[in-house]
């Protein structure tokens, strides 16, 4: 920008407006970064809970790994999981606060958006409103899940997780949350790719990749949910018993001799 243009901007009183206009862009960047981190966490979380598909011993071992079991001579510290959950909860709240800026703030705005969406018949516009719907649902669904995992991390395991699905009859809650997360996350990563990474890529190709990613995690999630429900059903007579592999029991007994 030339010196003459700077003078004209200052005379017109636009200098302050130029500086203030940077804030929404910075907030958008923070929203994108927090969303990306949450998406990566959810991918890792999905693979973690899906270890039950490889067997109860595998899921137990992964759970105890995060509790420090294999680094402390066979002692578990579930509070380590609580710390991780607390960090994720803070990131989740920050992302929600940044995202809610773009939600329709009144019924009048929502109605105007619906008219605009129907008139345009634009695929990305429709995806955005579904991202709003699922994000609103996750504010309640994911908050309850984080609360449970923060205060009762010791209940994570083959029997504990299976008991929540069957004995506590929470499988409809987890099913709805699974659908909301996969739709919201898939749309979010698609919009991030367009906005920040590959804006000139064919959107039709990116949409196919987005739906492929969503379908992949949905299939894994549904299979995992079914596996935990079966374990909960098989173990319904002893809902408070915790699962421990036989080899772990033997190692503890040998260590105590």
- Give the predicted TM-score (pTM) of the model: 0.82
Is residue 237 classed as helix, strand or coil in its secondary structure?
coil
What the chain holds in terms of domains, given with CATH numbers, is 27-243 (1.20.1300.10)
User: How confident is the model at residue 121, as a pLDDT?
Assistant: 67
Distances (CA, A) of 43 to 12, 39, 86, 115, 216: 50, 6, 18, 35, 11
User: How confident is the model at residue 12, as a pLDDT?
Assistant: 55
User: How confident is the model at residue 85, as a pLDDT?
Assistant: 96
Residues in the chain: 257
User: How confident is the model at residue 8, as a pLDDT?
Assistant: 53
Spatial separation of the C-alpha atoms in residues 13 and 147, rounded to whole Å:
49
Low-confidence ranges of the chain (pLDDT < 70): 1-21, 113, 116-117, 119-122, 199, 249-257
CB 235 within 8 A of CB 163: yes
Q: How far apart are the first and last CA of the chain?
A: 79
Cβ count within 10 A of residue 31: 21
Give the containing element (helix H, strand E) for 165. Answer: helix 158-165
Region of residue 103 (left: phi > 0; alpha: psi -120 to 50; beta: else): beta
* Residue carrying structure tokens 């669904």: 141
DSSP structure string for 81-143:
HHHHHHHHHHHHHHHHHHHGGGS--SHHHHHHHHHHHHHHT-HHHHHHHHHHHHHHHHHHHHH
User: How confident is the model at residue 256, as a pLDDT?
Assistant: 47
Q: In this structure, what token pair is assigned to residue 240?
A: 């408070």
Cβ count within 10 A of residue 24: 11
User: How confident is the model at residue 126, as a pLDDT?
Assistant: 81
CB 102 within 8 A of CB 131: no
């Amino acid at each position: 920008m030339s010196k003459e243009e700077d003078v004209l901007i200052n005379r017109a009183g636009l200098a302050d407006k130029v500086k203030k206009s940077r804030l929404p862009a910075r907030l958008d960047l923070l929203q994108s970064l927090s969303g990306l981190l949450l998406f990566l966490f959810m991918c890792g979380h999905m693979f973690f809970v899906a270890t039950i598909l490889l067997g109860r011993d595998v899921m137990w071992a992964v759970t105890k790994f995060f509790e420090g079991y294999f680094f402390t001579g066979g002692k578990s510290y579930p509070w380590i999981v609580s710390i991780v959950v607390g960090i994720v909860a803070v990131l989740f709240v920050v992302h929600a606060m940044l995202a809610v800026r773009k939600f329709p703030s009144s019924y009048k705005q929502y109605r105007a958006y619906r008219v605009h969406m129907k008139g345009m018949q634009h695929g990305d516009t429709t995806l955005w409103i579904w991202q709003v719907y699922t994000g609103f649902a996750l504010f309640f669904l994911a908050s309850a899940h984080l609360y449970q995992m923060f205060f009762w991390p010791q209940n994570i395991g083959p029997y504990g997780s299976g008991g929540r699905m069957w004995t506590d009859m929470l499988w409809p809650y987890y099913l709805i949350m699974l659908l909301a997360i996969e739709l919201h996350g898939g749309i979010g990563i698609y919009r991030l790719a367009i906005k920040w990474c590959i804006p000139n890529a064919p959107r039709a190709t990116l949409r196919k990749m987005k739906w492929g990613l969503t379908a992949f995690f949905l299939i894994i999630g549904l299979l995992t949910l079914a596996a935990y429900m079966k374990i909960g059903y098989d173990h319904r007579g002893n809902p408070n018993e915790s699962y421990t592999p036989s080899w772990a029991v033997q190692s503890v007994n040998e260590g105590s001799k």
